[in-house]
Structure 1
Amino acid sequence: MAVSANRLELLQIADAVAREKSIDREIVISAMEEAMAKAARARYGSETDIRATINPKTGELKLQRLIHVVEEVENPDAQMTVEDAKHTLPDAEVGSVISEVLPPLDFGRIAAQSAKQVIVQKVREAERDRQFEEFKDRIGEIVNGTVKRVEYGNVIVDLGRGEAMLRRDELIPREIFKYGDRVRAYVLDVRREQRGPQIFLSRTHPMFMVKLFTMEVPEIYDGVIEIKRVARDPGSRAKIGVISNDSSIDPVGACVGMRGSRVQAVVQELQGERIDIIPWSPDEATFLVNALQPAEVAKVVLDEDAQRIEVVVPEDQLSLAIGRRGQNVRLASQLTGWDIDIMTEDEESGRRQKEFAERSELFVGALNVDEVVGQLLASEGFATMEEIAYVERDEIATIEGFDDETADELQARAREYLEELEAKADSERRELGVEDTLRQIDGLTTPMLVALGKDEVKTIEDFAGCATDDLVGWSERKDGEVVRFPGALSDFDVSKTDAEAMIMQARVAAGWITAEELMAQNADDEDVGEETQEEGAPA
């Protein structure tokens, strides 16, 4: 069968568009069929159901009018009753479709323009779908592209098969790109939006550095060396924690490379960003000491409940540990996930002396003893009146110069002092209007009830409506610094776990949940914790 020139041209156009837009040829032909059908409806009536079919081998166009058999006709142009249909199709029934072949149509200028718009729209939608499908699975990868234009500081990057945006806040500071420059960036996100898929890139994300090291260090690519933590001050300084799964390979040396060749390749890509490569350790204190390099650390004190670490350094190491504008300690804090307080040995000594003097003064005043006795108790490690009142008598009696009688007398005075404080606090609680029902919550003391009352938490319902952060406080990072916001019970030794347990007790007491529901929830939490632990366990 001979194929006419116009039919050949139709197929050639479909092939050319498919190649240019990198989409399936069938999608282009389908768009053409829809465009032809729309043009035909303009000729035969918009209510007419017309199907256009293009033979993908010959390019032959076939137009058909479809008439649906229904019980009651609502659209005469596309429907008919069973009785009328039987004249054309003897075995017609409701749901049958009668097809009528239409003669070739000579499209006018308006119909052709309308068909062109349909084809363009369909091809554009297919191109967008192709771009989204191609890049949605590339989130987390590094891509290379060319700068197409710069708009208000945002860099538009041509990736060859799509465009991406590198926003100015994702650019390394003082980094300038112009038309035609080559760009390497990290695919941060891909979103399907009305105007097409939006691909967002980043050069400041910590994972950009991780991917660069993966490309430069074969041991990381092979999984022999693992990057555990990353903290960046883009364009200035960064710290990465690495560990080797092979004891014969030094993770730091492998990342640095011969004469620094590997790390220098990453540094050059990051516009001279200084990179500290640190051996990672599962021991938080050891890892922190490594993270504060190049400063030397004399002592580390961890407060696990508050996620805070006190670091003591020699006087000549203080500025090095803090870094310019606090950069070194800030990056170490980001790397470890702990808040870090740095002090010199003299400052720590002065603080301890101050604490010793305050405890001694407390014991002297509260127990009505002389200064020597107060200092003896403080030097033995007693920090609170509760410890003196309720420890075993022998722990006091065995102090040099003390005996059983002295221990009994000191404990009696301590208990009397605590009873006076309790009575005073209870009176203040009543004045604040804190209800007695809050006493049934295990873990809440009278001084805590006073603190809650001052924070307008006065009933079981008030307490049940609290969040954990409302009680113990929370931290936020602002401008690179950690800001601490206190809670109602921040002055007391209450952990997040304790606070959550007390809140759940209050919700049971308030009738918000039942004790059985609470037990079931705790059981579920334990199961999830065990599963997480199993998943995180080394192979």
Structure 2
Amino acid sequence: MAITSANQLELLQTAEAVAREKMIDPDLVIQAMEDSLARAAKSRYGADMDIRVAIDRKTGRASFTRVRTVVEDDAVENYHAQLTVKQAKDYLKDPQIGDEITDEVPPVDLGRIAAQSAKQVILQKVREAERDRQYDEFRDRKGTIINGAVKREEYGNVIVDIGRGEGILRRNEKIGREAYRIGDRIRCYIKDVRREVRGPQVFLSRTDPQFMAELFKMEVPEIYDGIIEIKAVARDPGSRAKIAVISYDNSIDPVGACVGMRGSRVQAVVNELQGEKIDIIPWNQDHATFLVNALQPAQVSKVVFDEDGGKIEVVVPDEQLSLAIGRRGQNVRLASQLTALDIDILTEAEESQRRQAEFAARTALFMETLDVDEMMAQLLVAEGFTNLEEVAYVEQDELLSIDGFDEGTAEELQARARDYLEEQAKKALEAARAMGVEESLIEFEGLTPQMLEALGKDGIRTLEDFATCADWELAGGWTTENGQRKKDEGILEKFDMSLEEAQTLVMTARVMLGWVDPTAAMPAEEEEAGESETSDDEEEAGA
């Protein structure tokens, strides 16, 4: 098949038809034709030649050219596609390295095999262009809801026809009791779009929390307009869900707007989710208030928040315990997901028992270490003293404010507390030295003898050992494994060391050892302060 004037326009018509059918750019089809014709020409003139084909976008005329590139004398590897500067002077007046010399060659007569090969190249290029178009289209729609029709089911996964492609709704992304038949209309959330060998894969979901958020956005105009914002969503798909909302307009109630007139708006979402019960909760910046709202319908008596551990303790009346926990822990689990906090629920009776146990333990501590009677120890605990350090180094006025305490009693108590602490520190230091803790670490500022003893027990005995520690190894922290928060115990955590304090100590040790440049270890605030002082000095000098 020669490319003659009779079928030149037919090339353009074919490209237009294919582009229209596959919904891609016609120029991509023409480029595929050019590549296929160039490959066929190479098989005719020689694979070593650089043959290029250009199809005129108006007339359809295909021009075949041979291209040779000018290279250095010792860089010639392919004499059919390259030539030296000296050889190029026969074609160009002043040839330079990188110049290209083109010669038009006669059009090829495509045989049956060459025509079939050209067809395969065109089909492959068109298929790639179609995949790219599908990927770009669905990538831009990631995080939105799409309507489709059930096409087939494979091993529990549902293949959904979504118009210009297919999406896959995996078994674990379906709401438990849903069953689909071929042809059923289905609404899904586009969770992810990936490039794969067999083409773009669109992964759908009906269990993702954001699916519910998008459904509310469709049903509640105030959410779509940005007047109301969905701050958090937690779901137990097909059973129950909690959604936290906030209004940026004081005249609009966020919960009422999401519920709608006679529950019409929330009911539309419930129907789409197969009867999933939805608790709509007002979001609050205060963690405790937000948690009280999140645990509804249970009533909360008291909330104790542990900021360092990211945990929160909730005290509820005894008769409210089962309601707060929910069936199989569902209510507290959803509240925990919604607030991103670990929640411990206690009854008032359990909390009272714990308080009594703590009171008794602290009373016993003061009786033993300060050699006082039970009444005096209880007075100290009742006034909020929790450890010997507080008694030893608190302002004396705070002790004098306790009924029955005079100046002599306060001085004696503080003297006993300090003597006991010094004795304990001496014993801890001796134990640390006995374990091999070196003087370089003992003399390091910021570590108490008890801390040195704890480090020695953990095998940290030199300043170099200490400098290799991570801050969380010293102060402890939290990690998440399989969606569950796990506590990492720190070596010095029992001494109430924070992550910031641990980081400062470790960095100081590294600077002392010369591992870190002191200027690089300077905190950002200090650098900014230093810069401002320098600029002030410069201004004064200029003045």
TM norm structure 2: 0.89
Task: State the secondary structure of the residue aligned to 1:13.
Answer: helix
Map 1:52-67 → 2, pairs under 5 A: 52-67=53-68
Residues 324, 462 of structure 1: CA spacing in aligned structure 2 closer, same or farther, 3 A cutoff?
Answer: farther
Aligned residue for 2:48? 47
| 2: CA distance, partners of 1:299 / 1:320 | 16
Please give the alpha-carbon distance, in whole angstroms, between the structure 1 residues aligned to 2:32 and 2:495.
70
Structure 2 counterpart of 1:518: 521
Q: Counterpart amino acid of 1:400?
A: D
Structure 2 CA distance for aligned equivalents of residues 260 and 421 of structure 1: 66
Query: What CA distance in whole angstroms lies between the structure 1 residues aligned with 2:262 and 2:170?
Result: 35
State the alpha-carbon separation in 1 of the partners of residues 518 and 82 from structure 2. Answer: 64
Change (3 A) 1:130 1:366: same
3-state SS in 1 of match to 2:241: strand
1:432 matches 2:408: no
Q: 2:266 aligns with which of 256, 263, 268?
A: 263
Q: Deviations over 1:283-322 (max 9, x none)?
A: 1111111111110011112222222222111111111111
Native 8 Å contact 1:363 1:369 kept in 2: yes
Structure 1 residues 341-350 or 57-66, which shifts more? Answer: 57-66
In the alignment, is residue 133 of structure 1 matched against residue 131 of structure 2? Answer: no
Within 5 Å, which residues of 2 pair with 1:72-471? 72=73, 74-79=77-82, 89=91, 91=93, 93-94=95-96, 97-471=100-474
Q: In the aligned structure 2, how far is the partner of 1:460 from the partner of 1:153?
A: 59
Structure 2 contact 309–478 (Cα < 8 Å) conserved: no
Cα 1:35–1:388 change in 2 (3 A) is same
Asked if 1 retains the 8 angstrom alpha-carbon contact of 2:393 and 2:414, the reply is yes
Q: How many residues align?
A: 524
Provide closer, same or farther for how the CA distance between residues 352 and 81 of structure 1 changes in structure 2, counting only shifts above 3 A.
closer
In the TM superposition, residue 4 of structure 1 has moved relative to its aligned partner by 5.6
Tell me: CA distance 1:58–1:353, structure 2 relative to 1, closer, same or farther (3 Å). Answer: same
Partner amino acid for 1:18? A
Taking the aligned partners of 1:266 and 1:412, their CA distance within structure 2 comes to 69
Amino acid aligned to 2:56: N
2:193, 2:370 → 1: CA distance? 68
Q: Distance in 2 between matches of 1:167 and 1:25?
A: 36
Q: Secondary structure at the match of 1:444?
A: coil
Query: 1:26 matched to which residue of 2?
Result: 27
Aligned equivalents of 2:325, 2:365: Cα separation in 1: 35
**1:294/1:321 contact within 8 Å kept:** yes
Which amino acid in structure 2 is aligned with residue 7 of structure 1?
Q
Give the gaps of 5 or more residues in structure 1.
528-539
Runs of at least 5 residues in structure 2 that lack an aligned partner in the other structure: 531-543
Is the contact between residue 48 and residue 80 of structure 2 (CA under 8 Å) also seen in structure 1? yes
* Aligned-residue offset at 1:172: 2.9
Can you list the C-alpha shifts for 1:492-514, whole angstroms capped at 9, x where unaligned? 31222222222222222232213
Structure 1 residue identity aligned to 2:211:
F
* CA distance in 2 between partners of 1:431 and 1:521 (Å): 40
Percent of paired sites with the same residue: 62
Is residue 495 of structure 1 aligned with residue 498 of structure 2?
Answer: yes
- Following superposition, the deviation at residue 188 of structure 1 comes to 2.4
Matched to 1:60, the amino acid is: R
In structure 2, relative to structure 1, the CA distance for the partners of 1:332 and 1:440 (3 Å cut) is farther
The answer as to whether partners of 1:330 and 1:481 remain within 8 angstroms in 2 is no
Deviations 1:196-217 (A, max 9, x none): 3333333232222211111110
- For residues 143-173 of structure 1, the C-alpha deviation after alignment (integer angstroms, 9 at most, x for no partner) is 2223333333333333222333333333333
Distance 1:70 1:320, change over 3 A: closer
1:468-483 map, 5 Å: 468-477=471-480, 481-483=484-486
Structure 1 Cα separation of the partners of residues 107 and 170 of structure 2: 53
Deviation at 1:82, TM superposition (A): 6.6
C-alpha distance in structure 1 between counterparts of 2:290 and 2:64, whole Å: 74
